[in-house]
Amino acid sequence: MEDDQITAVAIQGNEMAMLREKASIDIQVSTAKAYPRDMQKALSNSIFTVTMDVETASTCTYSVPRGGKAITGPSVHLAKILMQNWGNIRGETKVIEIGQRDITSQSVIWDLENNAALKVEVKRSIMTKTGRMSDDMITVTGNAANAIALRNAIFGIIPRAIVDKVYEASQKKILGDEEGFAKRIKDVFAGFKKVYGKEEADVLALVGKAKIDQLTKGDVVVLIGVGQALKDGDVTADIVFKPAVKTGADKKADLKDKQNPAGDIKPEMP
């Protein structure tokens, strides 16, 4: 009887990487099943983190202008805090395409314990008034797109009831008591002045108010969210402080203001 022949089969680099990835995932799934999350603990730890101080709480909200209104909600920073405390969750975010006019980011979040996964793609324009962005600005835009995709994916996996409770806690920390509220208003306007050179009237216009004493707590949350959205790259200062487009009624009102009693148009002053 002939001796058994043993043949060595070379494993290609890609196959080896896939085997290692599969082994890693299997270990993570097994660990998640062995040590299931404590939802109440995850919620408590998240609220504790976002309310550690006003600065941390302020990063948990964003606000961007859309159609003449401000869309406000929990930010990517709050999403990351939730993800860290939620546990048994795996995530990946990357730019998957850089086109001629836009960039596409993709985020995949997988709840290892519940075997629930979600993939989110976000597109951001890389065009300016003068043409295509520089490579450095494309990188910045890609990072912003990654953050948005990650935020949306995380909030698609973690129950909304959990997200809302943590977000509400962060807002309460931002506003504080009456004395703290007054200080927050002062800090907000000082921040817009220092970073963007915007005057009081410019900032008030973002929430449709003429005087500071007209601001509500909701208005202040929106302004803080706008500041955070600008810092994170969710929106640009040019868009936020873009002059409002006048409607037909507004234009007629302006024309009427320029008329004298005889009905003639007053000349524009140079």
Per-residue pLDDT tens, the chain, 270 aa: give them: 555 666 555 556 677 777 776 777 777 777 777 788 999 999 999 999 999 999 999 999 999 877 778 889 999 999 999 999 999 999 999 999 999 999 999 999 999 888 889 999 999 999 988 899 999 999 999 999 999 999 999 999 999 999 999 999 999 998 887 777 888 899 999 999 999 999 999 999 999 999 999 999 889 999 999 999 999 888 888 888 876 554 444 445 444 444 444 444 343 333
- CA distances, 148 to each of 90, 95, 241 (Å): 17, 12, 21
Q: Can you give the three-state secondary structure of 226-247, one letter per residue? A: HHHHHHHCCCCHHHHCCCCCCC
The one-character DSSP state at 149 is H
3-state DSSP percent of the chain in helix, strand and coil, to 5:
55, 20, 30
H or E segment to which residue 165 belongs: helix 160-175
* Nearest-10 crossing angle of helices 135-157, 76-86: 50
Instruction: Give the pairing type, strands 102-111 and 69-74.
Output: unpaired
Three-class DSSP labels, 10-30: CCCHHHHHHHHHHHHHHHHHH
Q: Is the pTM value of this prediction over 0.85?
A: no
Instruction: Show me where the domains of the chain are located.
Output: 38-240
